Amino acid sequence: MSVKKTISRRPLDTANQSLCSSISPLLQRIYHARGIVNDSELQKQLANLQRPTMKGLKQAVDILAVAVQQQQSILIVGDFDCDGATSSALAVLALRALGLQRVDFLVPNRFKYGYGLTPEIVAEAAKSQPDIIVTVDNGIASIDGVEAANNLGITVVVTDHHLQGDALPDAAAIVNPNQQGCDFLSKNLAGVGVIFYVMSALRTELRQRAWFTHAGIAEPNMAEFLDLVALGTVADVVPLDHNNRILVHQGLLRIRAGRARAGILALLDVAGRERHRLVASDLGFAVGPRLNAAGRLDDMALGINCLLTDNPDAARSMAVELDDLNHDRKAIESSMQAEAMASLKQISLVEADMPWGLTMFDATWHQGVIGILASRIKDRYHRPVIAFAEASETEIKGSARSIPGLHIRDALDAVAKRQPELLSKFGGHAMAAGMSLKKQHYPAFAKAFDEEVRRQLTTADLQAEVLSDGELSAPEFTMQLAQELREGGPWGQHFPEPLFDGEFYIVQQRIVGEKHLKLVLSANKGGHELIDAIAFNVDLEIWPNNCEKLHAVFKLDINEYRGRQTLQLMVDYLEPR
């Protein structure tokens, strides 16, 4: 059974209505609750982007400018998730548009080579004899891999956004807003955002060197790559600060207008999403998972090639293949989740008896899906979770997901410092991380991780909370307000889409698609002024329910079916009354 959540309402500052008068009072209150205090923070034009002041950017651009002018060979080495795929595709496409003829990509097979620029990947890369390796969405922790490349005479430029460790690789240039000493204000760029800044600065440098005139080629419009930036940024669930909101908004505009990569349009089509109504969450829930399925189950090269192609037929064919992989991923995930739930029941579902830091391992679990499994269990029980799968006879690999209050990479670092023999390697963010350890160390690590979580969290931190923007009055349940809220984003991590809560009478309820609850609700007992609602992935032990009323936390949305638009509540959380 899922953990019960506390519904809390955000404080609404009704006295400080300082934003543009054309914004409704409700949306003004929503913006204020998210820290927006002046209109400049709502500007979404490219001119409002942070200036390119990243540490290491000049060194990287100088190396790449010479490479373009001298037609050296560049190999892009990416990560095997959606951010890595979009970063790789953007780097290849931009370098080609800038006039480089010898550029290719190599993405690690996660099951063979592991994460990042490892010495094994360098050995594979060396077969194509590149002059330069450019990492995208990885590399900040690749000390041994960069050393291996240096020994082979291959120049390495690292572009990444992950947190650095105690030491940095000896690369020719490192561009990462999160490296120490970098004064770039927007620390929340995804990997694709970092390489976008690098390629934009490279275009400026090549223009100053009169390269485009010399080569007789048109100077590329970097805005043409913003569809990729938007996709990778949303899919990587980085905080949507002002800078990232600009990048995502501009990318969404291009996709809605059909000025996007053929692969993105094809993926939207197979996912049943209409591009003209696209919002940020569609990228995160429809496009991103289909690209990620390639890296999880097969080879992310399929996803990158889907983003690289200009041929709509080829894009459609690859999008269908990615969609099939995503269906396979869902089936594997469902089976693994059932097994995980069964193992948790053997521990205890009594909250007081459960570990604060949950670790799970099954030798049969699929290494590419453990991250999703950890996320599902974390959402269900609201505590940090690490799921492990077997990597070899002696080694296991884990994927961690955290909750607010626990920086998961720092927690792993604390475990490693206390018991350095446990973890072979680790890395990640505040909310997600990956690691490897010897199978024999798993019991000791599970105990050490739980102890570390207990050091850093309190019982209050383990109480799941859902934040609401308050109740809506009856006149506010309108298509006009729903449309204003859709356009008020892009919404996402750390800039959450508006949620409201209220009590409703249940007029009808039924399960659709195996585990989704379709509802017809009314604000009054008489069943007047009916409104449709849907809750995805409900707990089937609770729903359908014979209760008369429910308390719902929901988004106000517009459902479009066969050309007809109707108001619909997208329910995030519900409790019987």
Assigned token pair, 178? 């999160």
According to DSSP, residue 354 is labeled S
Amino acid (1-letter code) at residue 529: E
Handedness of CA 490, 492, 495, 500 (dihedral sign): positive
CA triple 516-522-527, angle to 5 deg: 120
According to DSSP, residue 332 is labeled H
Q: In terms of Cα–Cα distance, which of 144, 95, 102 is closest to 123?
A: 144
Q: Which long-range contacts (CB under 8 A, 24 or more apart) does 376-380 make?
A: 376/333, 376/337, 377/337, 377/340, 377/344, 378/402, 378/403, 380/2, 380/3
Q: In terms of Cα–Cα distance, which of 516, 493, 485 is closest to 26?
A: 485
Looking at residue 296, its pLDDT comes to: 86
Give the number of other Cβ atoms within 10 Å of residue 562's Cβ: 4
- Give yes or no for a cis peptide into 355 (omega within 30° of 0): no
Determine the Cα–Cα distance for residues 53 and 420; give it in Å rounded to an integer. Answer: 37
Name 537's bridge partners. Answer: none
According to DSSP, residue 351 is labeled G
Give the number of other Cβ atoms within 10 Å of residue 40's Cβ: 9
Looking at residue 14, its pLDDT comes to: 54
Q: Which residues contact 550 (CB under 8 A, 6 or more apart)?
A: 503, 504, 506, 521, 574, 575, 576, 577
CA atoms within 13 A on the CB side of 499: 21
Q: What is the DSSP string of 457-492?
A: --GGGGS-EEEE--PPPGGG-SHHHHHHHHHT---B
Q: In terms of Cα–Cα distance, which of 144, 135, 140 is closest to 108?
A: 135
What is the third-level CATH fold of 466-576?
OB fold (Dihydrolipoamide Acetyltransferase, E2P) (2.40.50)
Q: 465 — phi, psi (to 5°)?
A: -130, 140
Q: Return per-residue pLDDT of the chain as tens, 577 residues.
A: 567 889 999 886 655 556 776 788 899 999 999 989 888 899 999 999 999 999 999 999 999 999 999 999 999 999 889 999 999 999 999 999 999 999 999 987 767 776 789 999 999 999 999 999 999 999 999 999 999 999 999 999 999 999 888 899 999 999 999 999 999 999 999 999 999 999 999 999 999 999 999 999 999 999 999 999 999 999 998 999 999 999 999 999 999 999 999 999 999 999 999 999 999 999 999 999 999 999 888 889 999 999 999 999 999 999 999 999 999 999 999 999 989 888 777 655 555 678 999 999 999 999 989 999 999 999 989 999 999 999 999 999 999 999 999 999 999 999 999 999 999 988 877 888 999 999 999 999 999 999 999 999 999 999 999 999 999 998 999 999 999 999 999 999 999 999 999 999 999 999 998 789 999 999 888 777 899 999 998 888 889 888 999 999 999 999 888 778 999 999 999 999 8
Q: 183 — phi, psi (to 5°)?
A: -95, 10
Q: In terms of Cα–Cα distance, which of 475, 381, 527 is closest to 2?
A: 381
Q: Can you tell me whether residue 74 is helix, strand or coil? A: strand
What is the third-level CATH fold of 47-322?
inorganic pyrophosphatase (n-terminal core) (3.90.1640)
Assigned token pair, 32? 């204020």
What would you report as the CA-atom Rg of the chain, rounded to the nearest whole angstrom? Answer: 24
Looking at residue 16, its pLDDT comes to: 55
Give the number of other Cβ atoms within 10 Å of residue 274's Cβ: 11
Assigned token pair, 263? 């692969």
Q: In terms of Cα–Cα distance, which of 283, 324, 273 is closest to 492?
A: 283
According to DSSP, residue 525 is labeled T
Tokens 């050309």 map to which residue? Answer: 563
Determine the Cα–Cα distance for residues 291 and 296; give it in Å rounded to an integer. Answer: 9
Exposure class string for 217-239: b at 16+ Cβ within 10 A, else e? eeebebeebbbbbbbbbbbbbbb
Assigned token pair, 226? 């913003």
According to DSSP, residue 292 is labeled H
Can you give the residue ranges of every domain in the chain? 47-322, 348-462, 466-576
Q: In terms of Cα–Cα distance, which of 293, 291, 297 is closest to 389?
A: 297
Q: Do 47-322 and 466-576 fold alike per CATH?
A: no
Tokens 């990243």 map to which residue? Answer: 54
Question: What is the architecture of the domain spanning 348-462?
Answer: Roll (3.10)
Looking at residue 549, its pLDDT comes to: 93
According to DSSP, residue 495 is labeled B
Region label for 440, one of left (φ > 0), alpha (ψ between -120 and 50) or beta (otherwise) = alpha
- Give yes or no for a cis peptide into 544 (omega within 30° of 0): yes
User: Please, what is the angle between helix 25-33 and helix 479-487, to 10°?
Assistant: 40
pLDDT tens by residue, 86-129: 999 999 999 999 999 999 999 877 677 767 899 999 999 999 99
Amino acid (1-letter code) at residue 264: I
pTM of the complete model = 0.91
Q: Can you tell me whether residue 551 is helix, strand or coil? A: strand
pLDDT tens by residue, 429-469: 788 899 999 999 999 999 999 999 999 999 999 999 999 99
